[in-house]
Structure 1
């Protein structure tokens, strides 16, 4: 199983993806699945199922890259938490891209939770806190990297023009 983890000292190409699906223990998996269900559904509402998969993978890669670049080479990355933080950020920011009262209200409620989580990660990183999950140290850098990847992804998506509606195309 540890061959699926992203080993920063000697990463193998597939570990950049497989570490997003491997977890330290059942509780780690359960927590990530819960947040994937909740925040994945919010992303799915606006971007569809393919959007959830794309956001999850891109934010997970961003989380792994942040951890890889900013952590020691002795670090091992495992789990979906960084990708989940990307879903946190994406789900809130996508609701702010259109003026809809329901979505704005959802973004306020979700946004408070997301801001609280991100600030907690910043505080833990700056304070040197070392939470443990399944014998592995929690990577606050990966969580922050995933959230940043989600912010960058939404910023990029809002600049890309939408494809023309097929109903508007001439026959």
Structure 2
């Protein structure tokens, strides 16, 4: 990503390489959930392997049918799933990829606006990812993962880089290259996964994150 000009106050972003508290909590929460689900998948806990994951998806995944006429499992599920889906993942490899990305992009966003605004951008991006999936997916297949929020962080960094370069009267070539890379990455992932990629979530999260970043950076 293009380097950002302005940094947050030193107390908001550890200078010794440690993860900020917000990142520690987010990574720990997602990791603990996936480790428990994976342990159940392998029969290490519980008596029926896979039951815990099915229950977690039933109650926490993003189900497009709940935006239509499906009955909810509990009051408020159609609203809460816009957030809960971002804490669930489809396996250890999915978790690892997303948490590494969260570490990298999260530190960059915190360096710009601090931890509180980072958390706001992350939450808004997760919400935007759910909205994008709900509007564009055209499927009843459930969606899980933090990728919508992560693409929102990428959108935030790209939005700031665009504003900074325009303020400095610099060309947008580097920004356009990053955008092209993200589009190509989604295309490759879509092909590798035989179409089973929630690109709608990525798009919704990216747009929401970029808009939130511009608003919160004022």
TM-score scaled by structure 2?
0.59
Aligned match of 1:131: 193
Match of 1:10 among 56, 66, 72: 66
TM-score scaled by structure 1?
0.73
3-state SS of the aligned residue for 1:33? helix
Match of 2:210 among 146, 151, 166: 151
- Quick check: 1:89–1:151 contact (8 Å CA) kept in 2? yes
- Quick check: 2:160–2:214 contact (8 Å CA) kept in 1? no
Flag the structure with larger Rg: 2
Residues 118 and 50 (structure 1), Cα distance of their counterparts in 2 relative to 1, 3 Å cut: farther
Residues 156 and 51 (structure 1), Cα distance of their counterparts in 2 relative to 1, 3 Å cut: closer
Provide the rounded CA distance (Å) in 2 between the counterparts of 1:114 and 1:50. Answer: 26
Consecutive unaligned residues in structure 1, runs of 5 or more:
163-171
Residue 62 of structure 1 and its aligned partner are, at CA, apart by 0.4
- Quick check: 1:124–1:140 contact (8 Å CA) kept in 2? no
Provide the rounded CA distance (Å) in 2 between the counterparts of 1:137 and 1:56. Answer: 24
3-state SS of the aligned residue for 2:66? coil
Answer 1 or 2: which has greater strand percent.
1
Residues 85 and 18 (structure 1), Cα distance of their counterparts in 2 relative to 1, 3 Å cut: same
Match of 1:115 among 180, 188, 199: 180
Match of 2:117 among 51, 67, 90: 51
Residue 92 of structure 1 and its aligned partner are, at CA, apart by 2.6
Consecutive unaligned residues in structure 2, runs of 5 or more:
1-55, 68-76
